[in-house]
Amino acid sequence: MPDASWLAVAIGLVYLAAAVCIYRILMTYRTAQGALAWVLALIGLPYIAVPMFLFFGRNRFGGYISARRTGDAALTELLNRFEHQTATIRQRDHEHFHDELKVLCKLGRQPFTKGNRCDLLKDGEATFEALFDAMEDARRYILLEFYIVRSDKVGQRIKSILKRKLAQGVEVWFLYDDIGSVWLPRKYLRELAAAGARVASFGDGNVRRLRLQVNFRNHRKLLVCDGEVGFIGGINLGDEYLGTAMDEEPWRDSHCRITGPAVTGLQLAWLEDWNWASEEVPTLSWTPSMPARGNQEVLILPTGPADTYETCTLFFLNCINNARERIWIASPYFVPDFQIMNALQLAALRGVDVRIIIPEKSDSRLIRLAAYSYLVQACRAGIGIYRYQPGFMHQKMVLVDQRYAAVGTANLDNRSMRLNFEITAICTASDFVDGVGQMLEQDLASCRLMTERDYQDRSILFRLACRTTRLMAPLL
């Protein structure tokens, strides 16, 4: 009889926990579909759904928000001072161009800055050459923040440079994501720390694992040297970005080198992440040098689950809704929610050239399946879905008309929209926009345009798998 009593108590506690989870969902949900799915699971399968919700169900990164609100006074002052700087955004023959970009400043709490120079780095070889050179030239400090760090040839080269610069008196702060870099040997990190580098995991902030916030990732990839030069894009620190991976298929990605005042925006985003992870605010330079021929206007847009708004979603919606001639998006993962898909359809129906470039081969079989389920909707509206053939395309690019281009870390999927910390650079300079356009045209030449038949001519089991996988999009 006591056993039965304990069993009843255990069952009661599980259902009480389910009720608490449901209350939290109803008070904080952002999408009705996701909320309904969780509520039904918690009612029907509470023994499975409660643990899953604790690990994967949160949509706001509460600890980061607390660190932001109660952080170091110097950091708060820097954030506020930079946010309220003014910069003139030239209008480019479009009556809404100023407002369209001004709203992005409000979303990112950063201004468009003038006097920058952006250099498009079209592949891994060009990117790593520029990264290595910048670190070698650093005189005061090096700030790194990457989702994936590997202990392969690239990783060893990075470590060798950092150890040499530390010996020269250059300070190094090394921030990585513990989930993305799960296979990084502890020895690698210990060697850097022993050489004098400050090393921190994004998951260290307030012991994220104990706070059950493992579903949030720091997906950013950036480097800043001396507050004067910065890098942003889709490339992590690993050999695959230099050559081949995934059954010896080429790996396609790109990055961007920035000099000028916009580097301050990159540095502030890094500093806020570092403050969360280590509760430390290093003394850095906030007077970036003005590069020669630096006349480009650039905005740095950090996004993440600690934001007041769904900043990443609103960024994409803003781009799509304001496109008048073309909206080209390159993303390795294409699992848009209904807002993004509806906006893409409307853009295509009003005559905008809408092209989505995704890889033929993917590192996620589930996401590849889910992408097929959008084909009928896309093709009937006139959206071009292009599958890149030579290998795995991992770059994240957005091109809006001839007016601006964006390069960063955000994908067209739920994880980037609501769960990951991402960062994007937006540039309005015509030469940079032209460069991105030419690069994407070259990529499109290596793509296959998909049609409805690619989905409808497949077996019913395949189509069922695609539709079922799409339902799992919030967890992918």
User: How far, in Å, CA of 185 to CA of 161, rounded?
Assistant: 18
What per-residue confidence (pLDDT) applies to 217? 86
Give the residue with greater pLDDT, 166 vs 5: 166
Closest Cα partner for 69 from 307, 310, 424, 419?
307
Q: Which of 177, 226, 239, 413 is catalytic?
A: 226
Sequence-separated (6 or more) residues with CB below 8 Å from residue 312:
303, 304, 410, 416, 417, 418, 422
394 is catalytic: yes
Q: Which of 114, 159, 165, 221 is catalytic?
A: 221
Q: Which tens digit of pLDDT belongs to each residue from 314-338? A: 999 999 999 999 999 999 999 998 8
pLDDT above 50: residue 211: no
pTM attached to this predicted model:
0.86
Neighbours of 20 (CB within 10 A): 13
Q: Which of 122, 396, 413, 443 is catalytic?
A: 396
What per-residue confidence (pLDDT) applies to 209? 40
Write down the mean pLDDT value for the chain. 86
Q: What is the DSSP string of 187-241?
A: HHHHHHHHTT-EEEEGGGTTTTTTTT-TT-EE---EEEETTTEEEEES--BSGGG
Q: How big is the chain, counted in residues?
A: 476
Q: Which of 273, 307, 394, 413 is catalytic?
A: 394
Q: How far is CA 128 from the centre of its chain?
A: 20
Q: Which of 123, 253, 401, 443 is catalytic?
A: 401
User: How far, in Å, CA of 229 to CA of 103, rounded?
Assistant: 26
Helical segments of 84-152, H only: 97-108, 124-137
Closest Cα partner for 403 from 317, 324, 313, 471?
324
Q: Which helix (H) or strand (E) holds 414?
A: helix 414-414
84 is catalytic: no
User: How far, in Å, CA of 261 to CA of 159, rounded?
Assistant: 28
What per-residue confidence (pLDDT) applies to 94? 65
pLDDT above 60: residue 379: yes
pLDDT above 50: residue 298: yes
User: How far, in Å, CA of 330 to CA of 244, rounded?
Assistant: 20
Q: Which of 114, 219, 253, 255 is catalytic?
A: 219
219 is catalytic: yes
The average pLDDT across 220-236 equals: 96
Q: Which tens digit of pLDDT belongs to each residue from 69-84? A: 455 566 667 667 776 6
Band the pLDDT of 235: cuts 50, 70, 90.
very high
The average pLDDT across 244-272 equals: 86
260 φ/ψ angles, rounded to the nearest 5 degrees: 120, -170
